[in-house]
Structure 1
Amino acid sequence: MDSAINAQALTPIKLVRASEVGKNVRLVIDLKGSVYWKKPWQIKYKDRVDLILEIRRDRTISKNLRDIIVAIDAGHGGRDPGAIGKNLLEKDVTLLIAKELERTLKDTRGYKPVMIRPDDRFVDLNTRYQNARKLGADLFISIHADGFKLSSVKGASVYVWSEEASSITAENLSKKELTKNPEVKSKIGKLDIRDFDEDAARTLFQIAYEAKIENSIILAEKILTQLKKDPYTKMHKPNVEFADFRVLKSIDIPSVLVESGFISNPDDAKRLGGKAGRR
């Protein structure tokens, strides 16, 4: 990059002043504006004590803030039925759940839902997350229902893309693939891959993947918490799971896959077949 980032412009601290008052040291931090802060804590070393004070800018709500765009992906569809239960197909269940979620988000201030599969059509896995990027999605939620040969297995699970899979993907990206999505979101904002050489671009993709997984886990944990509170839903996996699901492969959109239950289990099938159990 041509110029270094101006760190002074990013910090909420205007000036730090220190003075001795007898045996004490008085520290004054002048701020540029209001901030959030956490109670200071100490880290002791052999020859010193570090005082840690964490502060961040006050996130005043702006009138210009846009709605959070949530891409809702109903698993399978069209010629791909997904798991097959007794008088129940996964593709039908996932679409009903997706539409229920769409209605809920439409009624919730600050959210804008977009449907990746709005009806009974086949959508390629790569196309799903690529369309989410084209729609400017901030979050991606893929909805599925499991199936198993043992009908006793039941319950919901929440998955995010594995860090190992993201590392392998970043390492194996070709130059053509690197420039396919030139703009990626990172912890310091949007970056244009075309401003960097191939090695640097590959590193930036890895950083973007890591940030995406970190935020995916936060989203997954929030969904998991709500599922555990739901009186209709039992959990198959109590913690966030990691897997190499291709539909979660987006470079920089926090993405989760929710297995809503097992349609091969009579209790789950009854729940997923009813409106209350799909909410």
Structure 2
Amino acid sequence: MSRIGFIGLGVMGTPMAAHLAAAGHEVRGFDLNAGALAKLVAAGGRAAAAVPDAVSGAEVVITMLPDHPQVEQVVLAPGGVLDHAGRGTLLADMSTIRPETSIEVAKAGADKGIRVLDAPVSGGQAGAEQAALSIMAGGDAADFAAVKPVFDVLGTTVVHVGPHGAGQVVKAANQLVVGGIYGLVAEAIVLLEASGVDAGTGLDVLAGGLAGSRVLELKRTSMVAREFRPGFRIDLHHKDMGIALAAARQSGVALPMTGLVAQLVAAGRAMGYGSLDHSALLKVIEELSGRSPQEA
């Protein structure tokens, strides 16, 4: 069993840290939200008073933060993770951030003898709660092998995808595909309903054929019912689409469909839907089609 410092106990981090504690690891978690700390303690973990308290003596440090500014502040800034982690500590940043930030963190860690992986996840809140995440890790293969037993507690698909930053690129690809599927499912619902066809029945058929997807499997019923309780907010998907577009520019490739999906996500945010689940792209398509969005 490992001593794990876990920083970032949001809707994803809290159940992830709880799973690690339940598996027998010694988990010391830190978050600015006192309620999140209380949940970790109730799950068998310990509450840390600050970042240094969470990191000191840890063999593995996991960060699960909203975006690259928070990662830079928690990890790179004076008094952060790299200032307090011991040599040989393994830092797994499971946030979804820019690949270049992950590479910067890895270089800074190496200067202090700290091993670093970028290991973003897919699966949303439900995947975190069910310990069924997909984890895509970038960094040294030996470091991945060392921490894989910890990752296996959190996910069902755990893969080393390449060097530092590769995990973030794979996550960007994941998000552009997921966003695109949501947009197309939304269009299918609008077309079916406008044509007088029961959307639920129509999507049941699609889910059993070549058009079937995890999105259709998990979300078709709630989308038809206009239930958009967030499992993954449009605000966060907007951030992720920006990462995908920036990665495309850096790689010198054209991703026209990604650009369109990014605009749909941005439109949803501009329409005031940022706090809703990303399946609320349906509301965007309805408005573009002149159909009054239906409320949950």
Regarding TM over 0.5, the answer is no
Higher strand share: 1
Q: Which has the larger radius of gyration?
A: 1
Higher helix share: 2
